[in-house]
Amino acid sequence: MKNSQFNSHDVKTCCENKLDIQFKDGGELNGWYLLEGKKVRRVTVSKGRKELKPKTYKSMASQLGLSVEQFDNLLDCSLGGQDYQSLISAALSPGSAETH
């Protein structure tokens, strides 16, 4: 788990740049990932550049439908937007054991 290498701003920037997530400013930042025009994943990120605690990091990964390792890869650049789209498409395809 690479939570100590990133902060909340890194997650926000990565979600915006790689996944085209647009965040809405509320108490926290919330954004939806759209697949084929439908909202399929929703992630919550703290404002500012806050340290990411382990369970919070896992929760963000889970919200995006990723394992912690996949989330690590998303943040450190080895998992791209197209890769993510493929993962989510597969997860949402009929017969898959979908989790949040």
**Which spans of this chain sit near another protein (rule: CB under 8 A)?**
24, 26-28, 30, 32, 35, 37-40, 42, 44, 46, 53-56, 59, 62-63, 92, 98, 100
Which of residues 63 and 74 has its CB atom nearest to another protein in the complex? 63
Which of residues 26 and 95 has its CB atom nearest to another protein in the complex? 26
Which of residues 36 and 77 has its CB atom nearest to another protein in the complex? 36
Amino acid found at 68: V
Residue pair 7/49 in contact (Cβ under 8 Å)? The answer is yes
Residue 93 CA to residue 23 CA, distance in Å, equals: 26
Residue pair 34/50 in contact (Cβ under 8 Å)? The answer is no
